[in-house]
Structure 1
C-alpha cells in the first residue's frame, strides 16, 4: 500500500509538471490564435525546403502548442518526433533573439535549416533579418540560444 501511495504521488507530481510545461510553452511561444508558425506546416520546411500552409483538418498538439500540417503523412511524421520539427526559440525571429533578446514576429516563408533545426526570421520589404543572421550566424546563434534559455527556463 505504501508503494502504491508513493507511485500515485509521483504520478500526480509528473502530471503537474507536464501541465506547467504546457502553460509555459503557450505563454512563451509565438502563437496566433493558439497555433504555431501562423498555421504553416513545420514538416514541409524539412521535406520540401519550403513553407506550406497547413490545414486545421491535420492538426496536432504537442505540449500545449498546436501545429497544422499540409497532409496526414506530415502530421504523422511530426507526432513521431516533434522535437525534430519544432522551430527554434518558440517560433520567434532567430535574428532578433540573438541580436536584441526580443521576441519578434516572423515571416513563415523566411527560414533556414541549420544542423537539422528550423530557424524562422522576420522579413519585410525593407528588412530581411535572415540576411543579417547569415553575416554573423555563429555569434548570433550563441546569443540566441543563451537568451532563449533565460526566457524559457
Structure 2
C-alpha cells in the first residue's frame, strides 16, 4: 500500500469517518445468520438460546435471522428491537469501556428487558452488578465504535 493511501486511511479514522466495525448484525461466518443462527425470541420465551430453522427466516438489521417457529418469527417482525440484542450483538461490558468485542450468544443477560451479549462470564458479572452505570456508558459508546444495528 502506498504511503498516500495509508495517510488517507489514517485521516479518515482520525476524523471519525471509518467505524471500528460495520453498523449491522454481522452474520456468523459458519451459519451465515445473525447471532449464530439462534432465535432471539427464544431467550425471552424459553430462557435460553435455541437454534432457529431455515424455514422461518426474516431479514432485519443487515442480516438474516432464523426462528424456532412462526410465532417467534411473527413476534420479532412486529418489534425486532425488543428481541434483538442491544448494541448489534457487541459485548456490553467491553462497550462500556469504549471498545467493541463480539458478544457470545451463550453468555448473555436480560438487562432492563433487553438482551445483552458479553465476551466472557466475568464481563457479564461486572456489567450486571453495576448495570445502570455501565448500560449508560455502553449506550454512549455504541455509535462511536459501530455497535448499532441498521434498520
TM-score norm. by structure 2 comes to: 0.73
Q: Give unpaired runs (5+ residues) of structure 1.
A: 1-23
Query: In structure 2, the residue corresponding to 1:37 is in which secondary structure?
Result: helix
Bigger fraction of residues in helix: 1
**Contact map agreement 2:26 2:63 (CA 8 A) in 1:** no
Residue 27 (structure 2) aligned to one of 14, 28, 31: 31
Matches within 5 A, 1:46-61: 46-61=44-59
Task: Tell me if 1:136 matches 2:133.
Answer: no
CA distance in 2 between partners of 1:59 and 1:38 (Å): 13
**Cα shift at 1:27:** 2.4
Cα shift at 1:136 = 2.2
Q: Could you give the per-residue CA deviations for residues 85-119 of structure 1, whole angstroms, max 9, x where no partner exists?
A: 111000111111112x2221222121111222111
Q: 1:93, 1:119 within 8 Å by CA — same for their partners in 2?
A: yes
Q: Find out whether 1:94 has 2:92 as its counterpart.
A: yes
Structure 1 distance, partners of 2:122, 2:51, is 21
Q: Does 1:78 align with 2:76?
A: yes
Unaligned regions of 5+ residues in structure 2, if any?
Answer: 1-18
CA distance in 1, matches of 2:59, 2:70: 14
Structure 2 Cα separation of the partners of residues 60 and 119 of structure 1? 21
Structure with a larger share of its residues in strand: 1
2:109 to 86, 109, 112: 112
**TM-score, normalised with respect to structure 1:** 0.72
Which of 24, 41, 44 is 1:43 aligned to? 41
List structure 1 runs of 4+ shifted beyond 2 angstroms: 26-31, 149-153
